[in-house]
Each structure stands twice: as structure tokens, then as C-alpha cells.
């Protein structure tokens, strides 16, 4: 799971670094004017919440920083993705996940490995949206696996045989 996460982040960094100048911050009309940078920030900040909350055993994805530097500065975002790759692998342990739902604090039990998997699936989902933006805004050719879950890739490979 850690290997898959790190590889998916690496593929993401490679796509981001190939973006034409200005595309990271260009609003995409078919995604409600969201930018690739905004989706990237969202991915990064959920990983940051998980890594930052690990020691205390408490994670709240709702209390993200919403750091404009991540969504506006591609090189800064890529640097944080590298940090995530280098710091993601940790021993499994119990975690308490907090959510703000209807002005109530709700806590659920989870564990680190489950949350790493959640973040991987969440990242792939947002990569699929980023793929839509890239296809709409540029002529950049993306790897066919970008924004596709590993299980879907495996299924497609089985169907070809």
C-alpha cells in the first residue's frame, strides 16, 4: 500500500511538472472554475492532516489549512508531495478521526493503514478530475493510468487476456 501510494504520488508529480506554463492556476469551466492547483492543494492537505495527526492518534480532515501557496505555486506543491512520499510509511496504529457534521463533532475509530488507503483512493479520485481539466485546457498527453484506481487497471488487464 505504501509503495502504491508513493508511486501514485510520483506519477502525479510527473504530470504536474509537465503542465504548460500557467495551467496549474487556470480555472477550468467544466469543473466549476476550480484549478488544478486547488485540487492538488486538497489532496496534499488531507495527507498533511494524516501525517500531522499520527503522533497524537487524532486526525481531523475538516481542519485543513487551505494554504493558497500550495494551490498557486506548483514547485512548492511538488516539494510537499515529496515530503509526503518520504514520510508516509509508518507503523499501523489506532486513530480517532473527527468530523464536523451539522455543527457537531463526530469521532470514529480507524487506523493508520485504513487512512493511508483512504487518502490513496481520494487522491486518485481528484486525479481523475485533474485529468478532465488537463484534457480540457491543454493537449498534454497523460498516462492512461492517471486518475485510475489500481484495481481498475488490474481488472482491465485481466479483460485483455
What angle do helix axes 2-17 and 36-53 make, rounded to 10 degrees?
A: 150
pLDDT tier for residue 158 given thresholds of 50, 70 and 90: confident
pLDDT digits (tens, 9 = 90+) for 24-38: 999 999 999 999 999
Cα separation, 38 vs 117, whole angstroms: 22
List the domain boundaries for the chain. 2-160
Asked if residue 1 has pLDDT above 90, the reply is no
Q: Cβ contacts of residue 1 below 8 Å, gap of 6+?
A: 113, 116, 117, 120
Residue 161 has pLDDT above 80, yes or no: no
> What's the CATH number of domain 2-160, 1.20.120.450, 3.10.50.40, 3.30.70.600, 1.20.1290.10?
1.20.120.450
The pTM score is 0.92
More confident residue, 15 or 150: 15
Centroid of chain to Cα 18: 18
Amino acid at each position: 500500500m505504501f509503495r502504491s501510494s508513493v508511486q501514485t504520488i510520483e506519477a502525479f508529480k510527473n504530470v504536474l511538472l509537465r503542465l504548460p506554463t500557467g495551467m496549474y492556476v487556470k480555472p477550468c469551466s467544466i469543473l466549476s472554475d476550480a484549478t488544478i492547483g486547488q485540487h492538488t492543494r486538497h489532496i496534499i492537505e488531507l495527507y498533511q492532516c494524516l501525517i500531522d495527526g499520527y503522533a497524537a492518534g487524532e486526525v481531523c480532515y475538516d481542519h485543513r489549512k487551505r494554504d493558497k501557496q500550495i494551490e498557486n505555486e506548483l514547485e512548492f506543491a511538488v516539494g510537499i508531495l515529496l515530503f509526503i512520499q518520504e514520510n508516509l510509511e509508518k507503523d499501523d496504529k489506532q486513530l480517532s478521526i473527527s468530523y464536523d457534521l451539522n455543527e457537531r463533532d463526530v469521532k470514529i475509530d480507524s487506523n493508520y493503514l485504513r487512512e493511508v488507503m483512504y487518502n490513496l483512493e481520494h487522491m486518485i479520485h481528484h486525479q481523475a478530475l485533474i485529468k478532465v481539466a488537463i484534457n480540457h485546457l491543454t493537449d498534454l498527453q497523460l498516462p492512461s493510468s492517471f486518475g485510475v484506481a489500481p484495481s481498475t487497471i488490474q481488472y482491465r488487464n485481466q479483460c485483455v487476456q
